[in-house]
Amino acid sequence: MVPIPSPRKDSNASPLGWLTRSSSNWLPPLLGTGGFLLLWQLFSMSGVIALPAPSSLFTEERTRTLIFYPFYDRGGLDKGLFWQTLASLSRVAQGYTLAALVGIAVGITIGLKPTINRAFDPLFQFLRMVAPLAWVPIALVLFQKNQPAAIFVIFITAIWPILINTAEGVRQIPQDYRNVALVLQMSSRRFFTKVLIPSALPYIFTGLRISIGLAWLAIIAAEIVMPGTLGIGFFIWDAYQQNYVGEIVLGVIWIGAIGLVLDRLMAALQNYISPGK
Amino acid sequence: MTSLVQVQEIEKNFPLSGGGNYLALQGIDLQIQKGEFISLIGHSGCGKSTLLNMIAGLDLPTAGTVLLDGETVKRPGPDKMVVFQNYSLLPWLTVRQNISLAVDEVMPAMSRQEREAVIDEHIAMVGLSHAVDKLPLQLSGGMRQRVAIARALAIKPKLLLLDEPFGALDALTRGNLQEKLMQICNEHQLTAVMVTHDVDEAVLLSDRIVMLTNGPGSKIGDILTVDIPRPRKRLEVVHHPSYYSLRSEIIYFLNRQKRVKQWQAKPHKTLARHGLEKVNLDLGFIPLAACAPLAVAEAKGFFSKHGLDEVQLVRETSWRGVTDGLVDTTLDAALMPSGMPTWMTAGGHGGPPLPIVTALTLSRNGNGITLATRIGQQGVSTVAEYRDYLLKTNRESHQLGIVHPASMHNLLLRYWLASNGIDPDHDVHLQTLPPAQMLADLKDGSIDGYCVGEPWNWRAEQEGHGFPIVGDLDIWSGHPGKVLGVREDWALSYPNTHIALTKALLEACRYCADPAHWSELSELLSDRRYLGMKQELIRFGNAGDGNSQESSPHSLFFGPAVNRPSRSEHLWILTQLARWSEIPFPRNYVEILERICAVSVYSTAARELGLDDVSYQRGGIELFDGVAFNADDPISYLNQLSIHKDFCVAEIPLKPARVMMT
């Protein structure tokens, strides 16, 4: 039998055809998320849980305003979610950049010098285990002010994965590459730029990616307990104090979404710089 | 010419994690000339890569020094560039960037254009101009290794070090790269050291091959010089006469190392039982019809009968394996050519003199001289015709095969040639070959003929590759063939075991001598454990199929005056070994003969078996030419023989007899 070219072949090339073919990619997550929201809606409406239903985020006045007008600014702390997020993100950016700089530098040092590594490893392992929230009071005592204290909490939370992964990356430089450098008597500068950094880069990025998530987690914790600061964390705390449960739910969804975007951005950057690793 | 590299008394210890040290290398001494290509070969874990790393400066010796151009190597550097087994290219740099990284680092004095030119030249040299901008991951293994070689050569090292450079490549790529490397080395007069485990690669590429023994404490076992002229072609070197002997030399060495390792791995306590000091024996032999008494003693249970419960027959491929086995005590006793006890006692094997004792002659006769069929086709059927043939074709080289310098084959063949006016050192060239190799060489025409024990003469005749020109019965009927040999210190340590072993083998000899058993013997020996060849090719008599009872016996295994070790025979052997300069004639020959011939062990064994040990005198020794041997004046006998090398007479310093150290 000779296969007859069917008209469906054209529809395969169209966007609709593509959607149909890739349905195994988008259908399960859509069903999963939709099902979850539907269950939530049902439980809320039947009164099994006290949380407001997802639909109420749009029906309720306060949350609808927040959703549709993220850029409003009524002065003081009463600002749209965009401004709240921006304030949080700028703190994260400062703390995270600092963590990345210090983490990579220290990571390379301890990766290259086993003695220094042995000297500080117990300390690092110990500090790594302290929860972000536990740092908040220490940070407040140290810096006396909210803003630097928040940045410090981000820094101290985000630094460990960067530091430990960088050190591991440096230690994992294959002996062959080290031998090449030794035989060629490479200068330290050239070894650093041509061998060490390219070789350790995948590890460094793994650390950076884990840390961005941690930093975002930490900022919420930090802001919640620092009254009077503009930011998404205090926004949630404030809503809780005033019993606006819908606003809390909205804030949580917003945080999750931002975290997801940050992680994807980092992954894209990692893929761009060291593809396939 | 001074050496470029001098490795002096290197020793390397590695600390073990559980405390203590692992001694990897010991006492390594090596001089490498400028322009030489050296291969390091040995089993895995023998420390060959460690040695290479120490020459490279990547690792430092625990003791001793490595000098490069007279300076101590203390750290790695571009003057001794290494090509690593796994290429070690930086995967984030392209081919060009990888090479330029090295060139920029090592040659900063050059201008940018000059460096570019060097890089381009070397990429072109390895034929990768089309792939300059590719990343290593986009290249095949062979191409990556070519980049690594180009990188190494681009920085003009004094010494090129290669660590199994072609180990991970397929055979075709490997072959091409070997030729490429050889060509580059020839053109640029490079000095190189290569670690390899590939025997053919070592022979093809090297000027000298350094063979390392197994660890711990690996040493240089031997250094082979490869005399194949350059430039070499991979497909042509195999036709060079030295190729296979070099190859088999290396393989012998590696096999020997493996065997020693296996021997060391198994527990070898001395088991004493039944009033014997040791009942677990390793007996060496090589596959010849003359090994029949050993095979029979094993198969018929004569060893166990005399209390030797755990005798193991160890099949060696050449007599050299037997010699080495006795030297390093991996063998307790061995079947050996009758010349070997005197030869080893006089230090003919190259080491310090090692007294070997024989208490039993296991066989007589059983040998013959075979010439190739192609020589028979030239009208040669007698020795006189062969002499004329040699005169006519004296421009060609004429090789004759022998199995061992100390075997009767060598001595009888030389005696026969010399008595017929052919100088065995000038008119022909005698080459030591394992018996199985001889037949192959006879077939492909690289040797004229050989003198060897059965079944190799009969087999050549049967298969049409050769014809017998003379049998041993016509040279010296009843000459000693194979004997039982043990170390003197072994004999002193285990005297009762020695007697039991002699008894078991003497009884086996009696069994072998009965023509009624010959068919059975042929069948037994055809087994893979012994000769591993067709039963029809193994015969013990002279006529017909050789195993009928009517045919006259060829090999003598038992009978009056057959088995008792004879001092005068060993003295005759001493004169012949000295005649051909295998050993000096020992001034203390009386002492040597006393220590070699364990007549009392034989007598005890024979008496205990109930055999008549009447004292007898073998007839005087007289070979086919009628020159009588006067055992009272061996030096005059030597002088009266017409053709001989310049022999010398010297005292052989023997250590006093003592028991084995354990």
Nearest CB among B76, B101, B106 relative to A182 is that of: B76
Contact check, Cβ <8 Å, A184/B75: no
Mean pLDDT value across residues A186-195: 88
B80 vs A contacts (CB less than 8 Å): 183
pLDDT (0 to 100) of residue B542? 57
Determine what percent of chain B is predicted with pLDDT higher than 70. Answer: 96
Q: Which residues of A touch B56 (CB under 8 A)?
A: 183
Q: Do B90 and A194 touch (CB under 8 A)?
A: yes
For strands B482-487 and B333-337, give the pairing. Answer: antiparallel
B579-600 tens-digit pLDDT? 888 888 888 888 888 888 888 8
DSSP state of B291: G
Q: End-to-end CA distance of chain B: give it in Å, rounded.
A: 46
CATH 3.40.190.10 residue ranges for chain B:
279-364+480-566+587-617, 367-474
Q: Which is more confident, B619 or B127? A: B127
Q: Find, in chain A, the residue whose alpha carbon is nearest to that of B86.
A: A176
Give the distance from residue A182's alpha carbon to the nearest chain B alpha carbon, in angstroms. 6
Contact B90 A186 (CB under 8 A): no
Across the interface, of B58, B106, B155, the residue whose CB is closest to A182 is: B58
- ipTM score above 0.85: no
pLDDT at B642: 75
The span from the CA of B516 to the CA of B501, in Å, is 24
pLDDT tens-digit series, residues A25-52: 888 889 999 999 999 889 888 888 888 8
Q: How confident is the model at residue A160 (pLDDT cuts 50, 70, 90)?
A: very high
Sole residue written with tokens 């070689």: B149
pLDDT at A208: 92
pLDDT tens for each residue of A99-133: 999 999 999 999 999 899 999 999 998 998 888 88
B610-653 residue pLDDT tens: 876 555 556 677 777 777 777 777 877 777 777 777 777 777 88
**Which residues does chain B have within 8 Å of residue A198's beta carbon, measured at their own beta carbons?**
90, 92
B1-17+25-79+158-264 sits in which CATH class?
alpha beta
- Among A152-156, B263-267, B515-519, the range with the most confident prediction by mean pLDDT is A152-156
pLDDT at A156: 92
Question: DSSP string covering chain A, please?
Answer: -PPPPPTHHHHHHSHHHHHHHTHHHHHHHHHHHHHHHHHHHHHHHTTSSSSPPTTHHHHSHHHHHHHH-TT-B-STT-B-HHHHHHHHHHHHHHHHHHHHHHHHHHHHHHHH-HHHHHHHHHHHHHHHTS-HHHHHHHHHHHHSSHHHHHHHHHHHHHHHHHHHHHHHHHHTS-HHHHHHHHHTT--HHHIIIIIIHHHHHHHHHHHHHHHHHHHHHHHHHHHHTSTT--SHHHHHHHHHHTT-HHHHHHHHHHHHHHHHHHHHHHHHHHHHHSTT-
Question: What is the SS3 assignment for B358?
Answer: strand
Q: Which of B52, B79, B92 is the best mutation test for A, with the most CBs of A within 10 A?
A: B92
Question: What's the CA gap between B184 and B268, in Å, rounded?
Answer: 51
A63-94 pLDDT tens trace: 887 787 778 777 777 788 888 889 889 989 99
A179 contacts in chain B (CB < 8 Å): 58, 76, 82, 84, 88
Average pLDDT of chain B, as a whole number: 82
CB contact under 8 A, B90 and A177: yes
Task: Determine contact, residues A116/A109, Cβ cutoff 8 Å.
Answer: yes
Q: How far is B67 from chain A (nearest CA, A)?
A: 17
pLDDT of residue B428: 83
pLDDT tens digits along B45-62: 788 888 998 998 888 888
Q: Which residues pair with B225 in a beta bridge?
A: B208
On chain B, the residues whose CB falls within 8 A of the CB of A180 are 84, 88, 90
CATH 3.30.1370.100 fits B367-474, yes or no: no
B2 token code pair: 């001074």
Give me the pLDDT at residue B548, please: 46
For residue A250, the tally of other CB atoms under 10 A from its CB is 23
pLDDT at B254: 87
Instruction: For A195, name the nearest residue in chain B, comparing CA atoms only.
Output: B90
Residue in A closest to B83 by C-alpha: A180
Interchain pair A183, B105: CB under 8 A: no
Residues near A4 by Cβ (< 8 Å), separated by ≥ 6?
none
Q: Which residues have a Cβ under 8 Å from the Cβ of B96 and sit 6 or more positions away?
A: B119, B123, B132, B133
Instruction: Look up the CATH number of domain B279-364+480-566+587-617.
Output: 3.40.190.10
**B105 interaction partners in chain A (CB closer than 8 Å):** 184-187, 190
Does A179 contact B88 at a Cβ distance shorter than 8 Å? Answer: yes
Task: Give the pLDDT mean for B271-294.
Answer: 81
Mutation target vs B (from A177, A182, A183, A191; most B CBs, 10 A cutoff): A183
The answer to whether B407 touches B424, Cβ cutoff 8 Å, is no
Provide the 10 A C-beta neighbour count for residue A123: 9
What is the bridge-based pairing of β-strands B208-212 and B63-68?
Answer: unpaired
Kindly tell me the burial class for residue A64, based on how many C-beta atoms sit within 10 Å of its own C-beta (0-12, 13-18, 19 or more).
middle
Please tell me which of the candidates A176, A185, A194 has its beta carbon nearest to residue B101.
A194
Query: What is the model's pLDDT at position A169?
Result: 92
Rounded to whole angstroms, the Cα distance separating B143 from B154 reads 16
Measure the CA–CA gap between B603 and B614, rounded to whole angstroms: 9
Tally A–B CB contacts below 8 A.
47
CA distance B457 to B122: 57
CA distance, residue B494 to nearest chain A CA (Å): 54
Quick one: pLDDT at residue A73? Answer: 78
- Which pair of structure tokens corresponds to residue B555? 């090999």
Residues in A whose CB is inside 8 Å of some CB of B read 174, 176-177, 179-180, 182-187, 190, 194-195, 198-199
**B76 contacts on A by Cβ (under 8 Å):** 179, 182-183, 185
Per-residue pLDDT, A97: 94
pTM above 0.80, yes or no: no
Question: Residue B553, Cα to own-chain centre: how many angstroms?
Answer: 33
Cis peptide before B424 (omega within 30 of 0): no
Kindly report the number of other CB atoms within 10 A of residue B143's CB atom: 20
Instruction: Give bridge partners of residue B68 from the DSSP assignment.
Output: B5, B71
My answer on whether omega of the bond before B76 falls inside 30° of 0, hence cis, is no
Closest Cα in chain A, distance from residue B125 (Å): 21
Per the prediction, chain A carries an average pLDDT of 85
pLDDT tens per residue, range B167-198: 777 788 788 888 888 888 888 888 999 998 88
Per the CB < 8 Å rule, is A176 touching B76? Answer: no
Task: For residue B471, count other CB atoms closer than 10 A to its CB.
Answer: 16
Q: How much is the pLDDT for B550?
A: 45
Confidence tier at B230 by pLDDT (50, 70, 90): confident
Mutation pick from B55, B101, B145, B147 vs chain A, by most beta carbons of A within 10 Å, is B101
Distance CA B261, CA B201 (A): 24
Residues of chain B with CATH 3.40.50.300: 1-17+25-79+158-264
Least confidently predicted of A70-84, A176-190, B8-22, B138-152: A70-84
| Mean local confidence (pLDDT), B273-299 | 82
Q: Which is more confidently placed, A217 or B268?
A: A217
Q: B166 CA to chain A: closest CA distance, Å? A: 16
Residues of A in contact with B78 (CB under 8 A): 183-185
| Rounded (10°) angle between helices B518-525 and B292-299 | 90
- Indicate the DSSP class of residue B213: P
* Closest CB to B58 among A179, A184, A185: A179
pLDDT above 70 for B23: yes
Q: Which residues contact A43 (CB under 8 A, 6 or more apart)?
A: A49
User: Are B286 and B322 contacting, i.e. CB atoms less than 8 angstroms apart?
Assistant: yes
Model confidence at B656, pLDDT cuts 50, 70, 90, reads confident
Q: What is the pLDDT of residue B661?
A: 64
The answer to whether B88 contacts A176, with C-beta atoms less than 8 Å apart, is yes
**pLDDT confidence band for B85 (50 / 70 / 90):** confident
pLDDT confidence band for B546 (50 / 70 / 90):
very low
Cross-chain Cβ contact A182/B75 below 8 Å = yes
pLDDT for residue B662: 55
